[in-house]
Amino acid sequence: MRKKYLSALLFGALLFASAGTFTSCKDYDDDIDNLSQRIDQVASDLNDLKTKVDALGGYVENVSFADGVLSVTTGGNTVTYNIPDKTGVNEVTLALDGNNLVLTVDGEAQTIALPAGETGEVEIPEIEVKDGVLYINGEPQTLKVDVESNVTVIESTIPGNETYTVMVNGEEVTFAKAFADVRISLITKNNGSDFYFTDAKFANENKTAVSQNGTPSGKQENGIHWTILSQDVKWDGPKGDLKAGLVVGQVTAAEVSVRPINYDLTTAKLTLVSSKGEVAPVTVIPTKGQKEGPLSNGTRSADVNYSGVDQGDYVLSLVFDKFTAGKEAEEIISKFANATQTGNIKYALAVDGVVATDYNFIIDTQLKADAQSSCETPDGSKLVIGGEGEWDSTNEVLTNVPANDLFHRMTYLDGRIYDMKVAINAKDVNDAEVYGVEISEDGTSIKAGQNAVGRKFALDVTLIDVNGNVSTTKTIEIKFAEADKQEVTLSPVTHDVTPAADKSVLVDLGDVFSSLSASDAIAVNSIENITWAIENDDTHFLWPLDGTNSFSSLNGDAAKILYFDENMKGIDVSDDKIDENIKKIRYAKLVWNGDNYANKEAQDGEHLISITINRVISASDDDDATRLVKKVNIPVHVVVPAWEDLFKTTSMWSDGVFKTRLTGVDESTKEVYASMDAFEDVKNDWGGKLNDNIKLEELTYENATGREATILASGVTSVDNVGVSNAQLSWDTLTDAIEANNHVMPDAFRNLSAKVSYTIGGVKDFKIEEDFTVYLMSIFEGADLTYYTDKGAKADAVMGADDVIKMATVSTDDTEAKNGVAIEFNGYKGEVSGLILAGGTNVQTLTADNNGNTFKISYDDTNKPSDAYTIYINKYTAQATSLTGADIDKTNGTGLKVIPATGVTGIIENGSTGSIMFQFVDVMGVYTQDVLNFKKEAK
């Protein structure tokens, strides 16, 4: 995507690359023209980089930027682009205006007076570009832009759109990301850990050497058969005429596993490379399975006849390159042997020039050319179809030939044979048409439909060997069998663990059902033939593997597995509707409702479930035998949510700290509590208050020795259900620390460390935790002496002419106050006057909370309260700027009246200021002070 300010980068690169000095208008104009001509070339730098990368395969393994160099790695090769340290500007122009030179930089003009020389002519200033900086008469111009700091590499990991995007000052190019690590491993081995490309007779059912065929290693007579034909040989088989020169017989093929599973090996250039870096003179041809899902592993295999090529696996076959004319016989022996011709070279498979396997591949050719005088008669035991087939020597028939409406390659397992020609015997031509048996146009493959299962068909087989000898034609009978069906793995399904009652799993089945053939769709016949299962004996999926509420119990229950079309409209899959509706299925919902998950031993992470689709074989109501249509594997990623996905903080938080207050205090039993109800639910539709069930795991403070210690009461290690239960704290820990800290709540209790947890759905592995800081407040902490205006707003206290700060008028519910002073606590207000300091029975009340509790406030300077809702004022002071000492009139019931202290004379002058301080003490011995400032405004 082009950006209009790309030229900033380009012009700077030009400046950097073309430093020079200009001393005349002519020279300057020429250079500007030169810069203009080159700007397009520099503009394409990043796109040129992309072109080079695309030429190397286009898939990028890594992008990095360091020390001014952008590096892009692909296919093991690295392409670089040097980013200039500094760039210039978008546009520079020069113009003459009388005797002045007008220099315009990005639209900003500056005028330079041009002095006259000795001859009276105007002199052009010296203009120089050096290291990307423009100089005029030796003075640098501020034209530099730091590009290096504006280089950004953005990696996208979105599935299906995995890219690297490089941005340089707004210019950007995007590269398709290669898989981080293409891993290739050898599946077939026919000699220990090695694989021999050799005589096709060594393609056997175990993919390792077996006694009936010997071993391909150490015996040159077991190698690839070849000869040098002196003239062309006519042949009407699949490979056509044999040409004069080198002719090679049937060769084994290797099966390899490629990971990541969706890396397409057919798009890469494959070579076999020796440890010395020499490339074998062969072409490696990768062939993947006919279906993208895993098939069962086949038996005998040669060429590309593996019947079961798993998803992500490939069969590798060879085609020999042309050798030097006249030296073919020498080179087919020597090219694959070591320098002394005493052993075979071991090769590794290279992908786009990068070695991707161990050195386990051997190309083994015979030492001498074949010189057969005749071709053997076809032997049914050597015939392979799709890598399958078992020879029944008693009945002389090749059995278990796959029938699944797919073409399967036919191969003859004998390295002396060059090609095979197969035709359906005349007596079976009509039956073949009826039962769907067909040979491909090129004559290499055969296919059969389901109707051919269990039936025999005769094939006429003719061979030609590498020497051009043609065999007699022999009729070989084959018998088709049920083919292993595809096993498809879908894209992963994500299940977010939830506290909601609906804990169902929704599965996107893609085209699993819509791709069924019409005959298979009808023959499924009943929901009983659609079976869900847990794979790999996984006991930690959301449903148990067996026992009560097992996953298998969902099968056949229309209420436990619901099916939907692509628009999430429910589909009726009852027996009388399934035939017409089954191909509409797009989604399945595995239903589970309840507070707890079905399996209390469930775990997060990846799990594998499957759905198996069977069809009824016979149309008879008396025959319920079935066969497999397909099996589908479904990875399920179970993801436990983060704490913030379920909970949010309450209003009791401030600056990231939860504030809570001592409550439930009982001095007689030495009990004290604090609420830890710090969170509330993110959603209201989870069927209840989740936060009620949060568990307090730890509540600690730093003690005097600097160690973490619990503040919970003795015997209390945790607190369940903190939403409804307060945490009991240690009475002795609190009171001892408060007393030692001069009756002030210690800082250690203002910085408590809390850990809480919540277990989702009754599954211990679905426990989430959160750590946070707790600020512990005392019982009466936050109490204020507050003055209210006639409109109920807080304001500075006003003293009247009678030296009284009027007592406020408080509403009956203690939530509003006007026209005077009140004690405020937790949003509630209480009346206050001098009588509160008189002691004895003079008690002022104040609502403590919305649970009906009320504080009783009175004066006592010698004792500590004995219960949580009694508060004493154990100290007070008053001062006024016009008095040397002040006191409060304890007999005044209209408000707080400031009077001269005993032995002090004088008055409070109008306009003077002062303050009143009350110190409260609660049952825990905590002192809380508050000051009321006032000003006398007599009217």
> Which pair of tokens denotes residue 513?
């059902």
Angle of helix 6-17 relative to helix 25-43, nearest 10 degrees, comes to: 120
CA angle (353 as vertex; 350, 354 as ends), nearest 5: 65
CB atoms within 10 A of CB 404: 20
- Residue 754 and residue 658 share a domain: yes
Minimal CA–CA distance to 292: which of 110, 478, 100, 512?
512
pLDDT for res 98:
63
Asked if the structure places residue 478 within a domain, the reply is: no
Say how far residue 547 (Cα) sits from the centre of its chain. Answer: 34
The arrangement of strands across the sheet holding 62-66 comes to: 62-66, 69-74, 77-82
- Residue 367 and residue 265 share a domain: yes
CA terminus-to-terminus distance, the chain: 77
Given 373, 407, 428, the domain boundary residue is: 373
Reported residue count of the chain is 939
Given 745, 762, 777, the domain boundary residue is: 777
Asked if the structure places residue 826 within a domain, the reply is: yes
Minimal CA–CA distance to 923: which of 879, 876, 865, 884?
865
- Residue 576 and residue 542 share a domain: yes
Asked if the structure places residue 832 within a domain, the reply is: yes
- Residue 702 and residue 609 share a domain: no
At residue 745, φ and ψ (nearest 5 deg) are: -60, 125
CB contact at 8 A, 133 and 145: no
Handedness of CA 621, 626, 627, 631 (dihedral sign): positive
Asked if the structure places residue 165 within a domain, the reply is: no
pLDDT along the chain (939 residues), means of 10: 29 33 38 40 54 57 66 65 54 61 65 57 57 62 48 56 61 57 71 81 48 50 86 94 91 81 81 87 81 31 44 81 88 86 86 83 90 94 85 92 84 91 95 92 88 91 96 95 72 91 94 87 89 94 94 93 94 88 94 95 93 77 69 92 94 95 94 96 81 95 93 96 94 96 96 97 96 97 94 91 96 94 94 93 90 93 93 96 94 96 93 96 96 91
> Which pair of tokens denotes residue 827?
């949003």
What's the rounded Cα separation, in Å, for the pair 509 and 571?
14
296-350, pLDDT tens digit by residue? 233 333 334 444 555 567 888 888 988 888 888 888 988 888 877 778 889 989 8
CB contact at 8 A, 578 and 524: yes
At residue 174, φ and ψ (nearest 5 deg) are: -120, 135
The arrangement of strands across the sheet holding 171-177 comes to: 59-60, 171-177, 161-168, 151-158
Beta strands 226-229 and 626-639 are unpaired
- Residue 334 and residue 228 share a domain: yes
What's the rounded Cα separation, in Å, for the pair 911 and 557?
87
- Residue 627 and residue 648 share a domain: no
- Residue 828 and residue 766 share a domain: no
What's the rounded Cα separation, in Å, for the pair 480 and 293?
22
> Which pair of tokens denotes residue 757?
């947890």
The residue range of the domain holding 611 is 487-639
Asked if the structure places residue 702 within a domain, the reply is: yes
Asked if the structure places residue 474 within a domain, the reply is: no
pLDDT for res 11:
34
- Residue 804 and residue 755 share a domain: no
> Which pair of tokens denotes residue 565?
């079309």
CB contact at 8 A, 403 and 453: yes
Asked if the structure places residue 768 within a domain, the reply is: yes
Given 373, 399, 426, the domain boundary residue is: 373
pLDDT for res 20:
33
Beta-bridge mates of residue 898: 888
> Which pair of tokens denotes residue 78?
């690295």
- Residue 699 and residue 625 share a domain: no
Query: Which residue is listed with tokens 């003079």?
Result: 842
- Residue 511 and residue 368 share a domain: no
- Residue 341 and residue 198 share a domain: yes
Query: Which residue is listed with tokens 């439930």?
Result: 664
- Residue 198 and residue 331 share a domain: yes
Q: What is the dihedral of CA 373, 379, 382, 383, to 10 degrees?
A: 110
What region, left, alpha or beta, does residue 513 occupy, with left being phi > 0 and alpha being psi -120 to 50 degrees?
A: alpha
Asked if the structure places residue 29 within a domain, the reply is: yes
**H helix or E strand, kind and range, residue 679:** strand 679-681
> Which pair of tokens denotes residue 51?
């072109």
429: helix, strand or coil: helix
Query: Alpha carbon of 166 to those of 45, 64, 160, 811: distances in Å?
Result: 13, 9, 19, 67
Domains contained in the chain, number: 5
pLDDT for res 367:
87
CB contact at 8 A, 304 and 317: yes
pLDDT for res 47:
65
